[in-house]
Amino acid sequence: MDNLAEGKQEVMVNGKPRHVLGYLQDFLFHPKRAMTPVRALSGGERNRLLLARLFLKPSQSADP
């Protein structure tokens, strides 16, 4: 959870605040598992966490 939100309880999704655990549940993380250190996650869980982090970053649009 700290890896995703940098110690914060909320993340911004589509301009709206969301609780980190709720956001991670969208990526199929059980709340208890979301508190697990990254080094203890399986490869698939690490990939889902990476996707969650990528979707939080603003997109770079090629539109003029």
User: What does the pLDDT read at residue 63?
Assistant: 56
- pTM value? 0.80
64 lies in some domain: no
Per the rule left: phi > 0, alpha: psi between -120 and 50, beta: everything else, 45 is alpha
Name the domain count of the chain: 1
Instruction: Give the pLDDT of residue 40.
Output: 94
Please write the tens of the pLDDT for every residue from 2-59: 678 788 899 988 889 999 999 999 999 998 998 999 999 999 999 999 999 999 887 6
pLDDT on residue 58: 75
Whether 28 is in a domain gets the answer yes
Range of the domain at 50: 2-56
Handedness of CA 36, 51, 31, 42 (dihedral sign): negative
CA distance 34 to 60: 28
Question: What amino acid occupies position 54?
Answer: L
In a domain, residue 36? The reply is yes
Whether the Cβ atoms of residue 1 and residue 24 lie closer than 8 Å to each other: yes
Q: Is residue 17 part of a domain?
A: yes
Q: Residue 5: what pLDDT? A: 79
Judge contact between 11 and 56, C-beta under 8 A.
Answer: yes
* Domain membership flag for residue 18: yes
- Asked if residue 61 belongs to a domain, the reply is no
Q: Is the pLDDT of residue 64 over 60?
A: no
